[in-house]
Amino acid sequence: MLKFDKNDYRREAERFKALGHPTRLWIVRQLADGQEHCVCEFVEAVGVKFATISQHLAILKAAGIIADDKRGKQVFYRLCCPCLLSVLRCVGQAQEG
Amino acid sequence: MLKFDKNDYRREAERFKALGHPTRLWIVRQLADGQEHCVCEFVEAVGVKFATISQHLAILKAAGIIADDKRGKQVFYRLCCPCLLSVLRCVGQAQEG
DNA sequence: TGTACATTTCGTAATATAACTAAATGTCTA
DNA sequence: TAGACATTTAGTTATATTACGAAATGTACA
């Protein structure tokens, strides 16, 4: 077994960590319809403060999972990695071990 | 857009969170060869204390990602969800957005 | 039975995360 | 240009995570 080098796994672990929060996972699933969605939609559906949603979106963006597009006063987010859909399906179905 | 209900996403988010640590992600990748591996192998390769590895393994097990099998004095772990392999591949390849 | 070994559990201290309020930024429109 | 609006950033506090050493558990074998 090869030696573990933390740096080789940091970035990838960051992606999983970003998905490892109920609110963020829900956001990603909402975006999985392929459409763009506005920050305000998330705020309303989740029921937390604007700042909190904004912070979650920033984490997903930093992880390279979503991308944003400013149009007028609003900001729209979309999924950037299409293969994430099958990931969500798999992890969602995983059985107890 | 439907209202968010945290409970619907808790369990699944827990799985992602379990993968969201460099050491745990590395462990899962080691198990991705389909073989069982002993706790002591991980301890040696990662270079942290036994208690720390044991804790990481417990988190992965609680998330339903790995399962264990005690044989004699040793404990062996294996992956329990084969579809995880494609998940790892996808998230590993995800591009910056 | 006693001791060594592999692993887990417990208690603790340092660090990271989550959600909030308040303040800052950027964009449209009067 | 001033004000309203959508969002982000900063600062703060409570809670969670991480890694550790020490103690506990369970198994094998002398």
Q: What average pLDDT does the segment B81-85 reach?
A: 75
Report CB contact under 8 Å: A23, B41: no
Average pLDDT of span A62-86: 91
Amino acid sitting at position B94? A
Domain of A44? Answer: 13-93
Residue A4 falls within a domain, yes or no? no
- Whether the per-residue pLDDT at A76 is higher than 70: the answer is yes
Q: Which positions 57-76 of A are in contact with B (Cβ < 8 Å)?
A: 61, 64-67
Cα distances (Å, whole numbers) of residue A2 to A14, B45, B70: 22, 7, 24
Residue B96 pLDDT greater than 60, yes or no: no
Segment A50-57 mean pLDDT: 98
Q: What percent of chain A has pLDDT over 90?
A: 76
Cβ(B52)–Cβ(B21) under 8 Å?
no
CATH code of the domain in which A87 resides: 1.10.10.10
CA dist A4 → A9, A88, B58, B59 (Å): 9, 27, 19, 19
Query: Is B1 a member of any domain?
Result: no
Which of the 38-67 residues on chain A come under 7 Å of nucleic strand D at their beta carbon? 38-40, 43, 50-51, 53-55, 57-58
Mean pLDDT of chain A: 90
CA of B50 to C1' of C7 (A): 8
Of the candidates A1, A24, A95, which has its C-beta nearest B41's C-beta? A1
Across residues A77-86, what is the average pLDDT? 82
pLDDT of residue B40: 97
Six token digits for residue A26: 């829900």
Among A25, A42, A81, select the one facing B94 at the smallest CB separation: A81
pLDDT at B93 over 70: no
| Minimal Cβ distance to A45: which of B2, B16, B41 | B2
Within a domain: residue A6? Answer: no
Instruction: Tell me whether residue B84 is in a domain.
Output: yes
**Does residue A85 form part of some domain?**
yes
Instruction: Report how far residue A76's alpha carbon sits from residue A39's, in angstroms, rounded to the nearest whole number.
Output: 6
Cβ pair B65, B81 in contact under 8 A: yes
Average pLDDT over all residues of chain B: 90
- Residue A47 in any domain: the answer is yes
Q: Does A82 touch chain B (CB under 8 A)?
A: no
Determine what percent of chain B is predicted with pLDDT higher than 90.
76
pLDDT 10s digits, A18-50: 999 999 999 999 999 889 999 999 999 999 999
> Quick check: A73 pLDDT over 80?
yes
Instruction: Look at residue B82 and tell me if it is in a domain.
Output: yes
Question: How far, CA to CA in Å, does B35 sit from each of A61, B28, B79?
Answer: 35, 11, 8
> Is B21 within a domain?
yes
Is B94 or B9 the better-scoring residue by pLDDT? Answer: B9
Between A56-60, B56-60, B62-66, B93-97, the lowest mean confidence (pLDDT) is in: B93-97
Number of structural domains (chain B) is 1
- Residues A65, B97: C-beta atoms closer than 8 Å: yes
Each residue's pLDDT tens digit, B16-59 = 999 999 999 999 999 998 899 999 999 999 999 999 999 999 99
Compute φ and ψ for A21, nearest 5 degrees: -140, 130
**CA–CA gap between residue A46 and residue A23 (Å, rounded):** 7
> CB contact, 8 Å: A96 with chain B?
yes
B92 CB neighbours in chain A (<8 A) are 12
Cα A39 to chain centroid distance, Å, stands at: 13
